[in-house]
Structure 1
Amino acid sequence: MQFDMDGASAYAYTGGKPFDPALPTVVLIHGAQNDHSVWALQSRYLAHHGHSVLAVDLPGHGRSSGPALTSIGEMADWLLVVLDAAGVRRAILAGHSMGSLIALEASRRAPDVVAALALLGTTYPMKVSDTLLQTARDDEEAAIDMVNAWSHSSIAHKPSCPGPGFSVMGGARRLMQRMSARNPAQLFYTDFAACNSYAEGEAAASAVRCPVLFVFGKKDVMTPPRSTKLLTAAMAHGTIVHVDAGHQMMAEAPDAVLDALAGFAASIKPMETQETP
């Protein structure tokens, strides 16, 4: 699904079904140097089981035109404009890593739009080391290799996803390389810097009153579960699910992530998600 955003193109994958804003809507927000394809299994399942889905490509990523936005606040504002363009009045926002900060900030800016939050691979503050920031700025290919290694719990995933013979690490690396090829203007550095500089997370979390789901990877070294106490304490009403995966949990534990998201989405009453005009 393509949107015209003041002359710029914004893309959202709808899970293989036409988008219907009258259905309960789930919005899926990817992380740094990724695009909508990281939600391949989850987006299609939700779209074929009673929900409308918007798996967005952020500006400068995937099929959305650039340049990439430089702050979490700008990304949250962009997301809210996309929802308005799609006719979505209420939605469940599900974000992974950088996308979780975008979802959180969008809930702070437009609480009436956000029916529920699912925060995957999240933490706050989401600080990035100076070494990694410099590498992302000066040698993006090396930064891709570093993050790809740190984001996975194993080099040999059994069973593979989405099928036998598919390399989880190879697929993630190739996706990040493809994002670099499509947008060579230091995309990884821009994304990392936005995560590193985001300073409103504690205030945003303290203001959340809607249902919240946390999904943490037990083997995540990028946003380890022990680093999440500020967020989980601020949103003590949230439900916490741990999956047997590293940071790239949608690929390493796709079924477990799907079970958590689908169960959470089903628990949100339709009238909480989408009101009929």
Structure 2
Amino acid sequence: MPANALVSSCTSASVIIGPALAGFLATAVSPAWILGLDAVSFAVLAVQVGRLGNVAGTTATAAPIGSGRSAAGLNLLRGQPELLGILALTWFFNFLYGPVEVALPLHVTEDLHSGANLLGLYWTLFGVGAVLGALSAGALRRFPLRPVTLGIVAGWGLTLVPFGLGVPAGVSLVCFALGGVVYGPFTALSFTLFQDRTPAALLTTVLAVRSAALLTAAPVGTALGGPLTAAMGPRTVLAVSGIATIALAVAGAAARVRGRRPPAPRPV
């Protein structure tokens, strides 16, 4: 848990710096130049990763995962309702987050009649909250992880609902910052749940399947967010995303309660 929380905190910290820097640069240069600078930064990262190739080659002594272990990992995932439930919850959570990526910028420009500075402030405050939340993930280990994870999902949804009520920008900024605090521990907690419930020999395979499945969630949600925002408006999409996320948490809690019930006795 502490290691997962540290990785999650580093990721959230990047959300603070990136949007804040973009908002500052947008006042001085064209957005096209900012996108070009972003592309150059990826090229620099690619070069740096390439320089690590020899180091990776000397440390990777484990044998590659064969088809037998891959099949065993997939069978384990299919045979573990709890793991499948965690994966489904995480997938739909990321999926319902996707429309926020589309609706929030349009909410800033169309509903609030503002620009890049305010949008950067939204994401910066979210990032600050997410860092604080991720750093608190270690303390949450004292509590049952499944209920805490469901509470995080419901809490994130609640912070989006005020957007649909037409609250002032200052109120929605506070809500988005609180959303970051709530969202921050989720990645570390969900990852830890998978690690705790997977045999060490199959952990790499199971986590690879998890990552492959989750890669589709946010892009699909973002693609759906485009037509939804055009049809319903950004403010409504943000609120609907929040309400749907709360419903997801309720469904997850109901599934957990059903799973803990003892089977009904068969009639003689």
Higher relative contact order (CA 8 A, sep 6+): 2
Structure number with larger C-alpha Rg: 2
Give the TM-score taking structure 2 as reference length.
0.23
Structure with the bigger percentage of strand: 1
Give the TM-score taking structure 1 as reference length.
0.23
Structure with the bigger percentage of helix: 2
